[in-house]
């Protein structure tokens, strides 16, 4: 019997990943987390991230 790795659904890239963080009930894989950190305002990805993250929690989380 092999140990099953639990895959979680990343809310940003929408892929199943093992590693990442949880923001409330929302899972962000480590790759997306890195991308978010490295994305600066004005870059095309940024608005997408902000939009998705805003949907998680409208009041207490700001990027």
Binding footprint of Zn ion, residue count (CB under 5 A): 5
| 36 belongs to the binding site for Zn ion (CB under 5 A) | no
Stretch that binds Zn ion, among 3-11, 41-49, 51-59 (CB under 5 A): 3-11
Question: Rounded CA gap, 6 and 34, in Å?
Answer: 21
Using CB under 5 A, which of 13, 21, 48, 55 touches Zn ion? Answer: 13
60 neighbors 19 (Cβ within 8 angstroms): no
Distance (Å) of CA 2 to CA 5, 16, 35: 9, 19, 32
Interface with Zn ion by CB under 5 A: which residues?
Answer: 10, 12-13, 29, 32
């Amino acid at each position: 019997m092999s140990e099953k790795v639990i895959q979680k659904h990343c809310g940003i890239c929408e892929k199943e990943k093992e590693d990442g963080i949880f923001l409330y009930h929302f899972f962000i894989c480590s790759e997306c987390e890195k991308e978010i950190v490295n994305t600066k305002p004005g870059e095309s990805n940024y608005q997408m991230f902000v939009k998705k993250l805003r949907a998680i929690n409208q009041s207490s989380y700001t990027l």
